Chains A and B, each alone.
Chain A
Amino acid sequence: MNQTVKPEDLKAQALKPQDLQPVDDYGPLYAAHKKVYPQSVTGTFRRIKWGLMGVCLGVYYFLPFVRWNRGLGAPDQAVLIDFPNHRFYFFFIELWPQEVYYFTGLLIIAAIALFLMNAIGGRIWCGYLCPQTVWTDLFYAVERLIEGDRRERMKKAASDDPMKLQRISELVLKHSIWLLIAWWTGGAWVLYFSDAPTLVKELVTFQGPPLAYIWIAILTATTYTLAGFMREQVCVYMCPWPRIQAALTDEWALNVTYRYDRGENRMSVKKAAELRALGQPAGDCIDCKQCVAVCPTGIDIRDGAQMDCIQCGLCIDACDTVMTKIGRPTRLIGYDNDINIHRRQEGKPPIYKLVRARTVAYAAIIAVVGGAMVYKLATRSLLDVNVLHDRNPIAIKLSDGSIRNAYTMRVLNKHGFDRVIAIDIEGPVNSTVHVVGADSVTPDRPMIVIGRDQTEELRLLVTAPEENNPEKSIPVKFHITDIGLGVVASATDNFVSP
């Protein structure tokens, strides 16, 4: 269509009075939140999600109550982070702060496992296991139970008369249940840091430590806010993983994908049937928008892979239901990648490559770190010793001309009972060892009692005649022998002349 623009029209346009008002050139400062109303859905992935939600929440809420007998005087809670006494208990494992490398190992495994999941099936973590997803899913379930499904919720939200008694009672009920879940979440958290049954008793009788109440309040608030209100905003705007994930993925990784080779062109069931009857190609997508309706982040998977997609698989269930109804093959949306879409377009069979350089590398790293941790744990000694040479002064000359070096020895007794240890040294010729405070009992071979589950710091004095030890520095070995069990632990240092 051709339009002739007259100069006077332009002039009139340019001088409209509203143009003289200051205007914001950049549009609105913020985008208003588009609330998502995910529709309920049934299917394979929904069932997997319910199952995983049950397992995750079950473990989280009830693990602190599991008991594990460690003998008299030791805590009997299976999983306990005991900050005041610097211990971490996990069933048969008891870790000391010195053994923090186990946590380093766990963190490495956790990170690589995340990468491995990503290389195999995309954002498995985001879609099924992330606490944000699990709790949001739970909160949506509560919302759906009380306010009804997508349509009803949208209608109620848009209604001009929200102050009806029924509406108010619905809202009160929903938020009460949310707060209850949130409160229980915070409550379960603090139980990991103290004896659970005792703390529960203290908490309900209002005799718990203030710190416990503060943490419950904090976690109640965050759970209620993040799962009840922030929801997909956390994934889209706050979480770094979608950004990192996009950089870590490759063309073989399976992601929740709309198979546009099959789906396009979108058309009604009737029209597609007519075209197929004529032997012409027709897309399977009927544009029913069920995939959009069920999406917890409110996106359209048919736009392709996108950062906002947490890959929970619910659109697969929604689409499968529709495809079954219209008598077309399922998995128009499924775990797939662009390579296979192109292959199908070219008439080739799809190929799935699980074994690739990166999946093998990730699995190898997990195996190596995990193996090292298991080995370290299996060979972990319950008696340990560290020795630190005095730095100032390094060596002392005594009045008879012999040389004395002082050391700080730390003995760790990880047993659940007291141990008697004897200290021997090996290295300087004719040397004697003396422990400050323990001389009168056993002068030539010091013996010390180390309390159960404790470390003991000892001051050691090693003396040797100068004439027998002419070298400036002689390696010296410290052996501590558990008298009862015969177990020996050793440490090395040097014996230095002034």
Chain B
Amino acid sequence: MADHTEVDSVSGTATTGHAWDGIKELNTPLPRWWVITFYITIVWAIGYWIVYPAWPTISSNTAGLFGYSSRADVAVELANLEKIRGAKMAALATASLADIEKDPAMLALARAKGKTVFGDNCAACHGTGAAGAKGFPNLNDDDWLWGGSLEQIQQTLLYGVRSGHPKTREGQMLAFGKDGILKPAEIVNVANYVRELAGLPTRQGYDAKAGAKIFAENCVACHGDNAKGNPEVGAPNLTDKIWLYGSDEATLIETITNGRGGVMPAWEGRLDPTTIKAMAVYVHSLGGGK
């Protein structure tokens, strides 16, 4: 030991020789076990490099002694999860839609699954809360173009609307103006007549009689005599408060002139039947289902 070692007279401990403002630093050594533990942690760290994937190589990384991979761990855990869910999902697959909704446990499962799948597949158009947007129906309300029963919702989900699937729901709002079926003046009349049916204010001086006649000749086939719509062809009820594209005169004229034909893809083949079932229950439970 060097000669300069100075011993603090109060504690009897050697100092490091460092002093700040007259305060000297004592050199209190650590206990041996502490130092040994410190060295063990270093050895442990080196062990980690060897046992676990650690070092990047040019195209990959060192694999570690036992080929551990956290991704493989996730795969195992997902498989375990599937095993745990298996029985419940099997029950979901065999139960009828109505029974699922009656059983609180199955309803909770279907809603949980449906919500996730909805977020992944449906939210892009219908929104995360299924509140819809212009041209994309709100699934929370009680206005259903193609019917709001559990079975009808399931069918729409399976085969879609104007989706090209052989069993797709089909129905078309014609382009009355573009295709020359109605003249612009007639369109204005019938648009105002529709607003009258819905209890909305109409343009002053429009010809209600002519509007009614045009409606009877062109629209009742799909929308019905009383304009209440027809879910068989997806014709909306024109007397209620819900409008998919809007109820102002300009929008109605646009709709009658150019027609409408929104598309909903068919999910059969993309999602398994149980998932579609869960989604049907979820959408039905949002509040609008009949």
Contacts and interface: CB of A to CB of B under 8 A. Distances in A.
Interface string B84-110: 000000000000000001111001100
Contacts, number: 98
B17 A25 contact: yes
Interface string B137-171: 01011110000000000000000000000000000
B54 interface: no
Question: Would you call the interface of chain A mostly helix, strand, loop, or mixed?
Answer: loop
B19 interface: no
B145 to A, nearest CB: 12
Contacts of A280: none
A233 B34 CA distance: 10
Nearest to B35: A30
Interface stretch (B55-63, B67-75, B125-133, B180-188): B125-133
A233 B35 CA distance: 13
Interface in A15-41: 23-33
A24 B34 CA distance: 20
Counting chain A residues whose Cβ lies within 8 A of the other chain, the interface size class is 20 to 34
A2 interface: no
B5 interface: yes
Interface in B112-140: 127-131, 138, 140
Given A27-B5, A27-B29, A399 B237 contact: yes
A392 B128 contact: yes
Interface in A231-258: 233, 237
A470 interface: no
A483 B4 CA distance: 88
Interface in A410-448: 436-437
Contacts of B17: 25
A392 B285 CA distance: 14
Interface in A162-197: none
Contacts of B216: none
B16 interface: yes
Interface residues of B, number: 41
B242 interface: yes
B198 to A, nearest CB: 11
A111 interface: no
Interface string A387-416: 000111100111111001010000000000
A27 B3 CA distance: 11
B30 interface: yes
B241 A233 contact: no
Contacts of A153: none
A233 B241 CA distance: 78
Interface stretch (A61-69, A117-125, A368-376, A455-463): A455-463
Nearest to B106: A437
A392 B129 contact: yes
Contacts of A391: 129
A23 B2 contact: yes
A31 B32 contact: yes
Nearest to A462: B287
A33 B31 CA distance: 6
Contacts of B285: 436-437, 459
Contacts of A33: 31-33
A436 B114 CA distance: 15
B131 A30 contact: no
B14 interface: yes
Interface of A: 23-33, 230, 233, 237, 390-393, 396-401, 404, 406, 436-437, 456-457, 459, 461
Given A29-B35, A406-B286, A459-B285, 4 more contacts: A24-B1, A30-B30, A393-B131, A396-B140
17 contacts: A25-B2, A27-B5, A27-B29, A29-B30, A29-B35, A33-B32, A233-B31, A237-B31, A392-B131, A393-B130, A393-B131, A396-B138, A398-B242, A399-B237, A404-B141, A457-B108, A459-B287
List 4 A-B pairs, minimum CB-CB distance, nearest first. A392-B129, A399-B240, A393-B131, A31-B29
